[in-house]
Amino acid sequence: MALDYFQVDAFSDRPFAGNSAIVYRLDAWLPDAQMQRIANEHNLAETAFIVAQAGGWRIRWFTPLTEVPLCGHATLAAAHVLRTVGGVTEGTLLFDSASGPLPVTYDEGRLWLEMSVDPLQEEGVSLTVQRALGIDVVDVLAGSDLLVVLESEDAVRYCRPDMNAVAQLGWPGVTITARGAQCDFVSRCFAPG
């Protein structure tokens, strides 16, 4: 079976930068195990599979190891593929996902993704988190993933986590964040598991 796919560098205006994602536009779903093998073969952070449905698109994301419930950059990549090579011209594309509806709006040359809010609770700073990240931590909040607040944009940029230790924290993903110097905030996400 031959399938067309597209590699998109999200969050960038040039090749080989930003966050890469693979996008497959399918006529019908492949078996889960086959989609997982395809994602493993590509070996990028995410491979998105989309199928048209009434009122929009169904989207699923696979890492090389597992299916995940949400991926922002691969959703934007899928919207880009639909607009640039898929002939879709609607101002807003609606993706149905395991995490609920994800509208992506095209406005003045940009794609805007609206994601649902993940309620956070205070987790508290721990030595285990600080050691895993190898950096001082200001605050730790927990939702579906762990959100770790750092002191500065530079702290986020230069953080070099111990990925084995991050995987042992017990969360699907760990996001580090801080106020940005020329933007509201900066962040990096790690999901070694």
Per DSSP, the three-state class of 122 is: strand
DSSP string spanning 20-83? Answer: EEEEEEESSPPPHHHHHHHHHHHTSSEEEEEEEETTEEEEEEE-SS-EES--HHHHHHHHHHHH
Q: Which residues contact 75 (CB under 8 A, 6 or more apart)?
A: 48, 59, 61, 95, 97, 102, 104, 113
Active-site residue set: 46
